[in-house]
Amino acid sequence: MSLSYWEYKTWLSTVDFTIVGSGIVGLSCALRLREKFPNARILVLERGILPNGASTKNAGFACFGSLSEILEDLNSHDPEEVLQLIEKRYTGLQLLRKHLGDQKIDYLQYGGYELFTRDDRRLYEECLSKIEKINRLLKPVFKNSVFSTCDNKFNFNNLQSQYIFNQFEGQIDTGKMMNALLEKVQNAGIKILNNCMVQEFDADTATVKIKTDNFTFSTNNMLIATNGFASQLGIQGVKPARAQVLITQPIDNLQIKGTFHLDKGYYYFRNIDNRILLGGGRNLDFKTEETTELGQTELVQHKLEEILQNIILPNTDVKIEHRWSGIMGVGTQKKSIVKQISPRVFCGVRQGGMGVAIGALVGKELADLL
């Protein structure tokens, strides 16, 4: 693309900070930079028309991990590390709510529920036996018991007799949340260029030269917040993980309220606008879902429909209205990567499927590296 003098002068000259990615992390980073450097020229580059990873495509869970997920994390992390992970997620959620306000993001604390199928008897019994242990572990963060049990009050089918309930879990409207973040960034005088994919960059001690699919320019500092796409810019330790989602048409007299986890969090669903939103299934074929390609597969979609019909709404004639997918960033460790990777290049990536919870905090930590 041949840019005019005016275009370069107005958008691409004397840029102090360029952030790659306009998701929760990137926009939170931009806002924190504006606090720290009120007069700086800040530019955000976004590969999509809208944030193109998971920030506008997630299920809107304001959560920090189900009981079975926490138990699984304890198999690969020591208890102090797990506590720190959960504390960061909880702190990140509070930061997001503080920045935007509960009303603007439709934050509702209906609580979260973990469900267990009849085939999950062993996992179900293990989780029941560990409730008090995990509550003690989390007490320093929440000052109260997090998990308890409750009966099958939503009349789901083919499940164990009790749920595990998390009183601190909530839900948000993902679209409203991202719209509020974008408005706040634009009101702060921060420029966002969409449909602009960074292809490569070259950094030295004085500047960073960034080549996009439209133009090349220089910036004083570059901050990478592309999460699931981080490996495309040479950042190690992050793999893409596609999450497939579907949503039903409106359902008359829908009584289900809350966020729900199934099969160690690999499946999840919630109510929204008298509909059921249901996602997950990458555990059916990890290799295929380790992709940056947005799309759906028959294997995963069939399983989601099966869960919808046989567990969630067994006696309801329900139709699917829409399907989509998002790209998360995962790795062998749950901790996000927030670090300086060269004199003027920094990154905040690998949210591990917890971007809603931890994204605002990671964005702040990324900006605070400067």
Residue 334 has pLDDT above 90, yes or no: no
Confidence of residue 302 (pLDDT cuts 50, 70, 90): very high
Confidence of residue 1 (pLDDT cuts 50, 70, 90): low
Instruction: Let me know if 98 is exposed, middle or buried by CB neighbors in 10 A (0-12, 13-18, 19+).
Output: exposed
Residue-by-residue DSSP string for 50-88: S--SSTTTS--EE-S--HHHHHHHTTTS-HHHHHHHHHH
Confidence of residue 7 (pLDDT cuts 50, 70, 90): very high
CATH topology of domain 61-172+238-330: D-Amino Acid Oxidase; Chain A, domain 2 (3.30.9)
Rg (CA), the chain: 21
Confidence of residue 358 (pLDDT cuts 50, 70, 90): very high
**In the predicted model, what is the mean pLDDT of residues 288-304?**
97
What pLDDT does residue 131 have? 98
Confidence (pTM):
0.95
C-alpha distances out from residue 44 to 70, 192, 193, Å: 35, 5, 6
Q: Which residues contact 354 (CB under 8 A, 6 or more apart)?
A: 63, 64, 65, 89, 334
pLDDT in tens, 204-248: 999 999 999 999 999 999 999 999 999 999 999 999 999 999 999
Q: Which residues contact 137 (CB under 8 A, 6 or more apart)?
A: 79, 82, 83
Cα–Cα distance, 187 to 189 (Å, whole number): 5
Residue 343 has pLDDT above 70, yes or no: yes
So where are the chain's domains? Answer: 5-56+175-236+333-367, 61-172+238-330
Mean predicted lDDT score pLDDT of the chain: 96
What pLDDT does residue 53 have? 85
Cα–Cα distance, 285 to 267 (Å, whole number): 14
Cα–Cα distance, 289 to 51 (Å, whole number): 20
What pLDDT does residue 71 have? 96
Other CB atoms within 10 Å distance of the CB of residue 130: 18
Q: What percent of the chain has pLDDT over 70?
A: 100
What pLDDT does residue 45 have? 98
Residue 122 has pLDDT above 80, yes or no: yes
What pLDDT does residue 309 have? 96
Cα–Cα distance, 194 to 197 (Å, whole number): 8
Instruction: Look up the CATH number of domain 5-56+175-236+333-367.
Output: 3.50.50.60
pLDDT in tens, 185-211: 999 999 999 999 999 999 999 999 999
